[in-house]
Every structure is written in C-alpha cells, then in structure tokens.
Amino acid sequence: MKRRRKKLGFGRVRKRTKPVRKSRKKKFRMNLHQLSIVGKWIFKIAVVCLLAFVAVWYFGQQVSTVGDSMNPVLSNGDVVLVNRIVYNATTPKRGDIIVFKPKGNENAHYYIKRIIGLPGETVEIMENHIYIDGEKLEEDYETTDIDDVGIVNEKIQLDGDEYFVLGDNRKSSEDSRNADIGNVKREYIYGKAWFVLSPKKDFGFIR
C-alpha cells in the first residue's frame, strides 16, 4: 500500500507539473508576441511623427502677407504655407512666388514677391513693359502698371546667384526696384509660397 501511495503521489506530481510547464511556455510565447506587436506600433508611431515633423518643417511653415503688393493673388494678412524643400531639388523659376528676407536681414519681415529676372539675365523697364535680355516679357498673370521704375532707370545685369523680383500690384510694392530690397540672392530665398491657409475665402493653392 505504501508503494502504491508513492506511485500515486509521484504520478500526481507529474500530472501537475506538465500543465504548469506548458502554461509557462505559452505565457512566454504570448509575451513575446505582445512585445512584438507593441514594438511594431511604436515603430509606426515614430515613423508617422517623423514624417509629420518633416512635412511641417518643409511644407507647413507659415508666413503672413504684409501689405497688398501681391494683389490679386495674395491680400494683406493672408497666412501662406511655404515649401522649403522644393529649391533643394530644383532652381527657382520665372513666375515663382518666393518668400525671402531682403539682403538676408534677419530682423526684417518676410517678403513675398514674384520672380521676373533669372541669374545672368539683364532686366530693363521701359514704357510700362519689362524686357529680359532685350526681349519683351509676356506675363500670364494679372498685374498693374509700373508707374515708378525706381532704381531700374537703366538696364540691370543680374549676377549668377541673383533674382529680380516684383509684386503683382506694382503701384504698391517694395521690390527689386527699391534700393533697400534690390536683387535677391539665392541664399536669401526662404522657399516657395504654395498654399493660402487663411482666410477661408482665399483658401487654396497659389497660382
């Protein structure tokens, strides 16, 4: 009888230990699986946050329009989004609306103007018309007459890193015609204005 009890006791111990070991292995596997899921979620969240940061930094920087020099495209107080990455891949083009600080002055507010003359070109204003390298510039956007040529009373030669800019509302614009602004060097261009965020009536892409 004693031997039977030992065998039964031994059998009971074995029966109890087997499910315990399986349970521990199962829990361990579940923990690894859960950790894997959590790790994937953390990675995805980190990627999304990084992409959001890049998007905001390069495409979502906000600049407020000061004055009506870019009417009718932009109005005073419009909040504009600036594309800061586009000119890392391409060069500014004629007709682009750029954001810059005149002469790199960090204390000045951002100016928003349209590129008229490109590096290496000559710019001349005569009888309310703009001439690039001696040829009349045809513009496909709305502008006002040029009543004041400012410092462009004779032909201007742009250096290899300079751009000549004007506001579309040329009756009320401080631009490359003004000595305080002058030609805009490439390094002073902050980015390209591409979207009006507010007010709602002007909401949309800039053309």
Higher pLDDT, residue 5 or 93: 93
pLDDT at residue 17 is higher than 60:
no
Higher pLDDT, residue 35 or 113: 113
What's the pLDDT score for residue 61?
83
What's the pLDDT score for residue 200?
83
What's the pLDDT score for residue 120?
97
pLDDT at residue 7 is higher than 50:
no
What's the pLDDT score for residue 23?
62
- 164 Cβ neighbours under 8 A, 6+ residues apart: 115, 116, 117, 121, 123, 156, 158, 176, 183, 184
For the segment 147-153, the average pLDDT, to the nearest whole number, is: 92
DSSP the chain: -HHHHHHHHHHHHHHHHHHHHHHHHHHHHHHHHHHHHHHHHHHHHHHHHHHHHHHHHHH-EEEE--SSTTTTTS-TT-EEEEESSHHHHS---TT-EEEE-GGG-TTSPPEEEEEEE-TT-EEEEETTEEEETTEEPP--S--------TT-SS-EE--TTEEEEE-SSTTS--STTSTTT-SEEGGGEEEEEEEEEESGGG-EE--
- Active-site residues: which are they? 69, 113
What's the pLDDT score for residue 10?
46
**What is the domain partition of the chain in residue ranges?**
1-59, 62-205
Mean of the per-residue pLDDT values for the chain?
A: 83
pLDDT at residue 181 is higher than 60:
yes
Contact 53, 72 (CB under 8 A): no
Higher pLDDT, residue 88 or 157: 157
Query: Residue 44: pLDDT band by 50, 70, 90 thresholds?
Result: low
Q: Tell me what percent of the residues of the chain surpass a pLDDT of 90.
A: 57
Query: Residue 201: pLDDT band by 50, 70, 90 thresholds?
Result: confident
pLDDT at residue 148 is higher than 90:
yes
For the segment 31-44, the average pLDDT, to the nearest whole number, is: 69
- CATH 2.10.109.10 assigned to domain 62-205? The reply is yes
pLDDT at residue 151 is higher than 70:
yes
pLDDT at residue 3 is higher than 70:
no
